[in-house]
Amino acid sequence: MRVLLIGSTGFVGGHVQRALTSRGVTVSTAPGLRVDPVAESDMESAVAADSPTYQRLCESVQGVDAVVNAAGNPGATSDQTEDLMAANAALPGIVGRAARAAGVGRYVHVSSAAVQGRRVRIDESMETDASSPYARSKALGEVLALRHGPTPGTVVYRPHGVHAATRGVSRTATRIARSPLASVAGSGDAPTPQSLVENVADAIAFLATTTSTPPAVVIHPWEGLSTAELLRLLGGRPRHIPTPVARTAVWLGTAAGKLVPSVGGNVRRVEMLWFGQPQADSWLTEAGWSPVVGREGWQQLGDAAFGPLA
């Protein structure tokens, strides 16, 4: 089997390449793809244009069985809307358009659970609650990937809270876990949607190669962690904050985030550490996929970031 991987030099893409290769897949890449900054109102024109990026993709997709788009702008706290829209919305549509034109049978677009924001439960519906520029760009990218990609055959995959020892957000979480600031709201037994990058990469490889037909949207399965257990595995001893106090702090931070997007993104990360978020069952679990790295991976992540505890 041959898969074209877009974004192979990125954080997630590099792991996806290794996961595909371990399955015996021949991986081809198309580095250097770029879309100029674009306003949301001009999105369809950007996707439909006969641009150099589209032409290059049309050449790259010839003869492949599947396309994986792991490229994008990861700036969850960025306010550069047109840059985010170009990388996270226009490019998924352009990749899908090229895949459809070439008759590719499977197109996996890597999105983010951030598109559903503060919904009561993460699920595999197209309902979104995208309040930040980043989340809005990812939500529109899903729509354009499904609209322009192969039909059927296009799959939007939503990972959540992707972690690795080399990632800044993971090092921050570990630093918090091992500090006096380590805390959770209430009892700390709420499920938290956090995932290890090795598991995310393997799930993407599974979606690209399975002979089963996935639904249009697939969420990453819950990896079984509660808010308190996550911090303990990272090496912490979390304190328990009264839930009303924590909710008030998040409300105040969210209000500030409406004025300063970078504040909003960081408040959301704290909210996830304190409260977590429930999620529905994933199609991946129903199809027989399971994480390749378990709880020991979280302990290793914490130790790799700051060394084993004494």
Give the per-residue pLDDT at 253: 84
Structural element, H or E, at residue 198: helix 197-209
Is 43 in the same domain as 143? yes
Residue 296, CB-side half-sphere exposure with 13 Å CA sphere: 2
Is 123 in the same domain as 271? no
Sign for the pseudo-dihedral over CA of 39, 41, 42, 43: positive
Q: Do residues 223 and 291 touch, judged by C-beta distance below 8 A?
A: yes
Q: Do residues 94 and 34 touch, judged by C-beta distance below 8 A?
A: no
Residue 206 banded pLDDT, cuts 50, 70, 90 = very high
138 Cα distance to chain centroid? 9
Is 123 in the same domain as 175? no
Report d(CA 48, CA 51) in Å as an integer.
8
- The answer as to whether 305 is a domain residue is no
Rounded to two decimals, the pTM is 0.92
Is 83 in the same domain as 10? yes
Is 264 in the same domain as 286? no
Is 125 in the same domain as 181? no
Is 42 in the same domain as 144? yes
Is 246 in the same domain as 136? no
Domain count, the chain: 2
Report d(CA 261, CA 268) in Å as an integer.
11
- The answer as to whether 299 is a domain residue is no
CB burial of residue 63 (10 Å; 0-12, 13-18, 19+): exposed
Report d(CA 96, CA 91) in Å as an integer.
8
Q: CB 258: neighbour CB atoms within 10 A?
A: 11
17 Cα distance to chain centroid? 16
DSSP state of 133: H
Is 82 in the same domain as 172? no
Which residue type is seen at 135?
Answer: A
Is 18 in the same domain as 123? yes
Report d(CA 292, CA 26) in Å as an integer.
21
Q: Do residues 208 and 108 touch, judged by C-beta distance below 8 A?
A: yes
Report d(CA 124, CA 158) in Å as an integer.
9
Q: What is the pLDDT of residues 26-71, one digit of tens each?
A: 999 998 788 999 999 999 999 999 999 999 999 999 999 999 999 9
- The answer as to whether 72 is a domain residue is yes
- The answer as to whether 54 is a domain residue is yes
Is 71 in the same domain as 173? no
Is 93 in the same domain as 218? yes
> Phi/psi at 185 (nearest 5 deg)?
-85, 130
Per the structure block, which two tokens stand in for 2? 């041959």
Q: What is the pLDDT of residues 298-310, one digit of tens each?
A: 999 989 877 776 5
Give the per-residue pLDDT at 75: 82
- The answer as to whether 306 is a domain residue is no
Report d(CA 295, CA 49) in Å as an integer.
46
> Phi/psi at 139 (nearest 5 deg)?
-65, -45
Report d(CA 260, CA 270) in Å as an integer.
16
The CATH number of the domain holding residue 210 is: 3.40.50.720
Average pLDDT over residues 138-154: 96
Domain coverage including residue 268: 168-189+226-275
Residue 260 banded pLDDT, cuts 50, 70, 90 = confident
Per the structure block, which two tokens stand in for 175? 């630093």
- The answer as to whether 76 is a domain residue is yes
Residue 258 banded pLDDT, cuts 50, 70, 90 = confident
- The answer as to whether 304 is a domain residue is no
The DSSP result for 279-296, as a single string, is BPPPHHHHTT---SS-HH
Q: Give percent helix, percent strand, percent coil of the chain, each to the nearest 5.
A: 45, 15, 40
- The answer as to whether 15 is a domain residue is yes
292 Cα distance to chain centroid? 18
